[in-house]
Amino acid sequence: MCGIIGYTGGGQREATPILLRGLGRLEYRGYDSAGLAIQTDRGVVTRKLAGRVGGLQALVERLPVHGASGIAHTRWATHGAPTARNAHPQVDCHERIALVHNGIIENADALRAALERAGHSFWTDTDSETLVHLIEDAPGDTLEARVIAALEHVVGTYGIAVVWAEEPGKIVVARQGSPVLLGLGDGEYFVASDAAAILDYTRSIVHLDDGDIAVLTPESYHVVDRESHVQLRAVDDVTWDLEEIELNGYAHFMQKEIAEQSETVRSTLRGRLVFDDGTARLDGLNLTPADCAAIRHINIVGCGTSWHAGLVGRHILETLTQIPVTVEYASEYRYRRLVMSPDTLTIAISQSGETADTLEALRAARAARSRVIGLVNVVGSTIARESDGGIYLHAGPEIGVASTKAFTSQIVALALLGLYLGREHGLALAMRQDLACRLAQLPGLVTRALALEPEVRMLAEEFVQSRNALYLGRGVNFPVALEGALKLKEISYIHAEGYPAAEMKHGPIALIDNEMPVVFVAPHDEVYPKVLSNMQEVKARGGRIIAVTTEGRGDVGTLAEHQLRIPETAPLLSPILTVIPLQLLAYHIAVLRGCDVDRPRNLAKSVTVE
Ligand code: AGP
């Protein structure tokens, strides 16, 4: 999952600074190498290197390249090591064509062998380079004709942008499986993997669909399909503003996004609570009361943090609707022989709305005739557009690779969905109204949980040298233990595992010694007494216990070395509060270890490849 960007204008602007600025905004998509290609009066000129966009900026300052159109790329390597040689743009044998690619070419080896037999010599070890040689080989007088002919041979996923020295100012774009959108300006046009890259210049964007080919010139743009039939695509207006994707004085986007959660939870709730009737207004869901009443099974699919939110969602939805809920790793689910009972509602949870495995799981569920709704943060993303209906989180852009505010908003959205479905499945009005009130109190309670930061920072200083950690929870907070462990792993590189607290006795307890930090997620709820016994078992083996408990109730006393007290709320909603000190702990430990919190190694924000 890389970031691609392109610009073509009539000369009113230089392309290089626009591409570099946009690439900086796309860096969360992949950041192991970067490059650009500019159409100059001397042909297509490229600059590329291993490392960050900042390095490319410095390279271009040393070796300036000027022109009114070009393409650029920031990479997350899939095929070929993250080196300067393998960085994009990829060029053909004569360096007349340059291409940037996001996705995976599955038949690259076969294509490469055929192209090498035909006399092409390859510069890199990448799968992407096969595309540019295919275009070089393809028939056609125009770049778009060549791209269309070349793609006939390709199996895989791609979002590509291509330039050709023979047609200065023209950029050809194609989409199959990887997100690409166009930006419309006045006498200038943009292409990008997401809107953040071009918001400095336009708010008018066109999302491309799979199979689309777009042709951009300074004068105009148009979209065609593989038979060159013109395709009409909607022009959307981006509503969020640039400030939302700026650091605004925070050291990291992750820190900013953790701190924003009382506001983002409020934003997910805004205009959706109907107190009198104890339900939720979810207009985008596209589910009538009759549709809701007919649901007999709910299946949730997602990856990573979204899968953890799904596990919390199972507790919430089963409790509020009495409908059986299954939660699936999307990457596993998509390849299973689906046995789908009729009246199954599939919920695809995804912050980015572009995660390839979740998208394919959605398509598999649909093929098995399930109704599909999306719980998505990015407006206009593919999962949002391919779902029958859905709930937008309205949490604003999430830039930090480690997901935080999306998780809490996903749980709020699942609780709203629980209210909406519960009304048609016999949930009593009083219980619905109580939950609606509890939801409305959340933003204030989140603010109080965030106030634990100074205590958490001190804890981080104490555990910064840990090599392992164990996170334990029960019931609706077991997924929070998983999420806490994931946050620590992905940004501090400390090995951590989340487990159901009772499961610990069946193996992981062997890991416990007086160096092992054991984080218990133990709010005061019906399983709290059981969690206390699990704490006893860990304490007896010298484990160093950190307990997240409820203010004013359930003092674990001497059982834990450290207690982090969160405000009380409805047990089903407690994960929204219990996760916050865990997000902060991971953040501060990673900062103290000097890790690149927003760009953790080997990760990327949106996993658009399998
Ligand atoms: C979480 O911090 C990770 N970035 C990752 O696990 C993420 O949750 C997963 O890739 C799913 O992303 P999505 O919600 O955008 O589909």
Question: CA triplet 41, 43, 44: central angle to 5 degrees?
Answer: 125
Question: CA triplet 29, 606, 443: central angle to 5 degrees?
Answer: 110
Q: How far is CA 458 from CA 254, 302, 310, 470, in A?
A: 19, 34, 32, 19
Contact status, residue 480 vs residue 582, Cβ threshold 8 Å? yes
- What pLDDT, on a 0 to 100 scale, did the predictor assign at position 554? 64
Cβ of 358 below 6 Å from ligand 1? yes
Collect all residues with Cβ–Cβ distance below 8 Å to 396 and sequence separation of at least 6. 240, 244, 260, 264, 267, 405
- Find, among 564, 595, 593, the residue nearest to 580 by Cα: 564
Question: CA triplet 606, 609, 610: central angle to 5 degrees?
Answer: 120
pLDDT digit string, tens, across residues 302-327: 999 999 999 999 999 999 999 999 99
Number of the ligand 1 atom closest to the C-alpha atom of 605: 4
pLDDT digit string, tens, across residues 52-101: 999 999 999 999 999 999 999 999 888 899 999 999 999 999 999 999 99
Number of the ligand 1 atom closest to the C-alpha atom of 607: 10
- What pLDDT, on a 0 to 100 scale, did the predictor assign at position 604? 86
b/e burial code for range 158-182 (CB count within 10 A of at least 16 → b): bbbbbbbbebbbbbbbbbbbbbbbb
With H, G, I as helix, E, B as strand and everything else as coil, classify residue 126: coil
Specify the DSSP class assigned to residue 59: H
Sheet with 158-164, strands from edge to edge, namely 90-91, 97-102, 158-164, 171-176, 213-216, 221-224
Distance (Å) from CA 210 to ligand 1 centroid: 22
Contact status, residue 54 vs residue 21, Cβ threshold 8 Å? no
Q: How far is CA 75 from CA 27, 99, 157, 191, 361, in A?
A: 8, 13, 15, 16, 25
Specify the DSSP class assigned to residue 69: E
Q: What is the DSSP string of 236-284?
A: EE--S-GGGGS-TT-S-HHHHHHHTHHHHHHHHHTTTEETTTTEE--GG
Specify the DSSP class assigned to residue 151: H
In whole angstroms, give the CA distance from residue 523 to residue 566: 8
Distance (Å) from CA 351 to ligand 1 centroid: 7
- Find, among 547, 525, 523, 552, the residue nearest to 535 by Cα: 547
Distance (Å) from CA 377 to ligand 1 centroid: 12
b/e burial code for range 244-259 (CB count within 10 A of at least 16 → b): bbeeeeeebbbbbbbb
Residue closest by Cα to atom 7 of ligand 1: 304
Other Cβ atoms less than 10 A from the Cβ of 450: the count is: 19
Distance (Å) from CA 303 to ligand 1 centroid: 6
Question: CA triplet 409, 413, 416: central angle to 5 degrees?
Answer: 140
Residue of 351, 379, 410, 597 best suited for mutating to test ligand 1, as the one with most atoms within 8 Å of CB: 351
In whole angstroms, give the CA distance from residue 206 to residue 198: 12
Number of the ligand 1 atom closest to the C-alpha atom of 303: 11
Predicted model pTM: 0.88
b/e burial code for range 389-416 (CB count within 10 A of at least 16 → b): bbbbbbbbbbbbbbbbbbbbbbbbbbbb
In whole angstroms, give the CA distance from residue 165 to residue 99: 12
- Looking at this protein, which amino acid is placed at residue 289? P
Task: Tell me if residue 2 is catalytic.
Answer: yes
Cβ of 409 below 6 Å from ligand 1? no
Cβ of 313 below 6 Å from ligand 1? no
Residue of 301, 303, 327, 331 best suited for mutating to test ligand 1, as the one with most atoms within 8 Å of CB: 303
Helix (H) or strand (E) holding 207: strand 204-207
Binned average pLDDT, 10 residues per bin, the chain of 610 residues: 92 94 90 95 95 95 97 92 95 97 95 97 96 97 97 96 97 95 96 93 94 97 96 88 80 96 97 97 94 97 98 98 97 87 93 96 94 95 95 94 98 98 97 98 98 98 97 98 98 98 95 96 96 96 96 80 96 98 98 95 86
80: left (phi over 0), alpha (psi -120 to 50) or beta: left
Specify the DSSP class assigned to residue 156: B
In whole angstroms, give the CA distance from residue 284 to residue 280: 12
Contact status, residue 571 vs residue 476, Cβ threshold 8 Å? yes
In whole angstroms, give the CA distance from residue 224 to residue 269: 40
- Find, among 132, 144, 162, the residue nearest to 225 by Cα: 144
Contact status, residue 73 vs residue 122, Cβ threshold 8 Å? no
b/e burial code for range 305-332 (CB count within 10 A of at least 16 → b): bbbbbbbbbbbbbebbbebebebbbbbe
- Residue in 48, 170, 405, 605 annotated catalytic: 605
Question: In the block, which residue shows the tokens 């549709």?
Answer: 291
- Find, among 334, 335, 349, 359, the residue nearest to 300 by Cα: 349
Cβ of 35 below 6 Å from ligand 1? no
In whole angstroms, give the CA distance from residue 46 to residue 43: 10
